Amino acid sequence: MPICCASNLVKTHGVGRAALRVLDGVDLELQAGEVVAIVGRSGSGKSTLLHLLGALDRPDSGSIELAGTRLDSATEQELTRIRRLQIGFVFQSFHLLPELTGMDNVLLPARLGGGQDAITRGIALVAELGLTEEAERLPSVLSGGEQQRLAVARALVNDPSLLLADEPTGNLDPESGAEVLGLLQHAAAAGKAVLLVTHQDDAIGIADRVLHLSGGRLVE
């Protein structure tokens, strides 16, 4: 079952002679329950594509539909709600707020709109990860693997249909990276569509499909 469908996406950065068309007719369909990896050289447009699918930016042309809603024509208010409830983000640099404990970071999206069910889910996720004690501490005293696992829990707390991961193991040692990749596989097994951008062979290895972004197009 398709969770996200993108058709003929075009995105250009810059204007005039400096203009660079980084996406030139990208088509992509993400199914519930699958992990898709996107690879490509630096600057090929991988992060740009994630930003479009994550409702952080709009394409110059083309369409994106997520869980029955057109992102390319949605209002800013609608996009904010979609980002909060339908999309989970995992970044290479964790992006945990340093002044909040790990648990407060995980529960922040729930408190911004997920409701009591999401708060309960977040507490349960942290417990399942075996991080209940660590989550009471500030991120600065946690290991990279602990921070990234909490970041994945934060991405899942509102039960999104789409999980976007940008180099999720790039800052981790192999053991911590394997734990994070296991969480992404578990999310897919629970029915979410997982899209990850990576250069890491171990991350590529968990993908059901691997797509290469080159010349503004995606190819198998």
* pLDDT digits 0-9 by tens, 161-183: 999 999 999 888 899 899 989 99
Determine the longest span between alpha carbons in the chain, in angstroms: 55
Look at the block and give the residue holding tokens 């469908």: 5
Strands of 35-39's sheet, edge to edge?
A: 87-91, 162-166, 193-197, 35-39, 209-214, 217-219
Confidence of residue 114 (pLDDT cuts 50, 70, 90): confident
Query: For domain 31-60+75-219, is the CATH number 3.40.50.300?
Result: yes
Look at the block and give the residue holding tokens 């309960």: 120
> Over 80: is that where the pLDDT of 197 sits?
yes
d(CA 141, CA 125): 20
d(CA 191, CA 3): 10
pLDDT in tens, 32-88: 999 999 999 888 899 999 999 999 999 999 999 998 899 988 999 999 999 988 999
Domain ranges of the chain: 31-60+75-219
Confidence of residue 113 (pLDDT cuts 50, 70, 90): confident
Label each residue of the chain as H, E or C. CEEEEEEEEEEEECCHHHCEEEEEEEEEEEECCCEEEEECCCCCCHHHHHHHHCCCCCCCEEEEEECCEECCCCCHHHHHHHHHHCEEEEECCCCCCCCCCHHHHHHHHHHHHHHHHHHHHHHHHHHHCCCCCHHHCCHHHCCHHHHHHHHHHHHHCCCCCEEEEECCCCCCCHHHHHHHHHHHHHHHHCCCEEEEECCCHHHHCCCCEEEEEECCEEEC
pLDDT at 161: 95
Look at the block and give the residue holding tokens 């296991």: 182
pTM for the predicted model, two decimal places = 0.91
The mean pLDDT value for 119-125 works out to 93
